Structure 1
């Protein structure tokens, strides 16, 4: 329980950040290779699950070592940092979108990004921004993360001491929320796009995974492990269904009407059970197929893992780069080369930021070590 940091977690956090960036650049060809094209869940589920995993791994150790009060102080300091970043990011994003909008004649980026409310109701929008109710497109994951971290002082003690009970409570709230209409209010009379009352379940499941002690290794071939087979079949079936959405006439021809009426709509706001189940099945299959960490030492894997270690900063850069890439793509017309260039350049800049932050951290650690040695 609460062992060292798993480089696979950082790798998949970094990969999710790249996918989020690519998914939010309209008409980006590389968005066709992200996880949302091959199943019911997408990079948002990866981000939230691993955020829960990383949070419990970090603050659970502090709770056990230094006590509840000290852990709460550390958590709330992190929440304050996230909140300040949220305010700054919104201001920066609005400036960039308004600038980009002035260079594109064929589209209204202000409307597409959900910023028209700010221009028409500026005073109320500023208040809503401070209350986490005003969330333009691209920024939704950060307020969700803030609220989930704010709940951690309540959930962490029970999660550490009685994880099964905490997961049961979380699942009960998750199932009740859509039925009871539980969600937080957003600006202009709406509700949160990512409902924290349901998405907390994924965060808690991630935290519970960080606490799980490794069990005995199943030596049987994967195809003889019933749970793996069931998870893999579900992943493959959802992949086929998702791919069929590209050809509606094909989808309508083979999808039984009764199943379609039961399946749709697949709510992202309330984290539909089929989405949650798809992510859990995909995570289980991936963990089984990649049981060791040796592959994370490859060069590309190390770059993605480093991005995952600085997920907040890299996520914010991706939010800023998305409208800029969209602007350049629109100004270039329908150029595939430009679209590929902006997508890859954006990913490279995100990796470069993580590299710079890593070097900075190492320099600070060396300076602190030298200072300590001089005073010893």
Structure 2
């Protein structure tokens, strides 16, 4: 099996990072156009699924070329880098939040960001930070990715050959975890906001999609047989979108939503990745993949900016985490709130794109020079 890069993965990873940044800035008007406003899932599902896809794509290639031991070492080394980045990012985020809090008199940003634990018990907070137990707001996706990536060596050899078996085991764990209350301990609320025991399913499904995408394409006649699946997925995406939009008008939602359906749907847990959230994301991903094949549209200039951010997702994510409280501070200090909120949202996305461009340029500068032998 040859692992080839799908440029749509980079594009949607970059787009998800922009959506995460916009969602993390309170009262941001551009946050109204992110996926969470039009369906049960949001950018977090995109981020985790594509993280699994990209990880299996990259380390599956290393597994085939260099063997299991080298692939394991590189995976764990990457997880260690992410862990170190998490520690430094949290320290920088706390500094920025404390600075922003001193300039905003109407709100307690430290409390909103879940950092009072560090003020009341700094020594324990440092220990909890090292153990990934202390995760202020905005920081949750990175520890989740660290844990999922660190567990990848356990399943990678089977995943690239028998993806169905790994998905079956992963699905079983996903179904049992809420029943038995499986989760990791944390300070806030006592458990991880993104329960890695259930979110691992999305990561595994991303990896399985990567292995499936490397197989020869089905003939067009067989592809047509899947049309009912596409229609079913599209209908589900539309219906859930209508339900989500109706949340803005509770009286209308309560009037048109049957009681039995409300009891079936709610509560929609993000922590335990409710089945309706998972199904919505999978339907949305399937519809998007069918409507937007990798046919060259990712080569236009605007798409290239998103692709570049997706290729350097760790650095771009960290920048977005640091920009969010700064944008919130600037918005809170400005009289013309709407205009400034739009401005800071666009500037933040622009800075993320600039960082991606710089990282791409720096990579070219440090690339080894190809020498031409002289006869």
Structures share fold, TM-score greater than 0.5: yes
User: Deviation per CA, 1:175-223, whole angstroms, max 9, x where unpaired?
Assistant: 0000110000002561000000000000000000010124314459989
Cα deviation 1:131-165 (Å, max 9, x = unaligned): 00100000000000000001011011111121110
Q: Select which of 290, 298, 315 maps to 2:300.
A: 298
The secondary structure found in structure 1 opposite 2:22 is helix
Distance 1:2 1:181 in 2: 39
In the alignment, is the contact (CA less than 8 A) between 1:2 and 1:60 conserved in 2? no
Structure 2 gaps, min length 5: none
Equivalent in the alignment of 2:320: 318
Aligned to 2:193: 193
- Matched with 1:369 is 369
Deviations 1:279-298, CA, capped at 9 Å, x for gaps: 00000000110123311111
Distance 1:131 1:33 in 2: 35
| 1:61 Cα deviation from its structure 2 partner | 1.0
Residues in 2 aligned to 1:164 and 1:174: alpha-carbon distance in whole angstroms: 15
The answer on 1:19 being equivalent to 2:57 is: no
Partner of 1:231 in structure 2?
233
Distance (Å, rounded) in 1 between the aligned partners of 2:107 and 2:364: 44
| Cα separation, 2, equivalents of 1:71 and 1:39 | 37
Question: What is the deviation of 1:324?
Answer: 0.2
Q: Distance in 1 between matches of 2:137 and 2:334?
A: 23
* Partners of 1:222 and 1:228 within 8 A in 2: no
For this pair of structures, how many residues does the alignment match?
373
1:109 aligns with 2:109: yes
Distance 1:346 1:375, change over 3 A: farther
For 2:270, the equivalent position in structure 1 comes to: 268
Cα deviation for residue 2 of structure 1 reads 4.2
Change (3 A) 1:111 1:70: same
Name stretches of at least 5 consecutive residues in structure 1 with no aligned partner.
Answer: none
- CA distance in structure 2 between the aligned counterparts of 1:218 and 1:279, rounded to whole angstroms: 25
Over aligned residues, Cα RMSD in angstroms?
1.8
Q: TM-score, normalised by structure 2?
A: 0.96
> How is 1:1-376 mapped onto 2 (pairs within 5 angstroms)?
1-187=1-187, 190-212=190-212, 213-218=215-220, 225-365=227-367, 368-370=368-370
- Shift in Å at residue 224 of structure 1? 8.2
Q: Deviations over 1:113-136 (max 9, x none)?
A: 000111101111100000001000
- Whether contact under 8 Å (1:8, 1:293) holds in the other structure is no
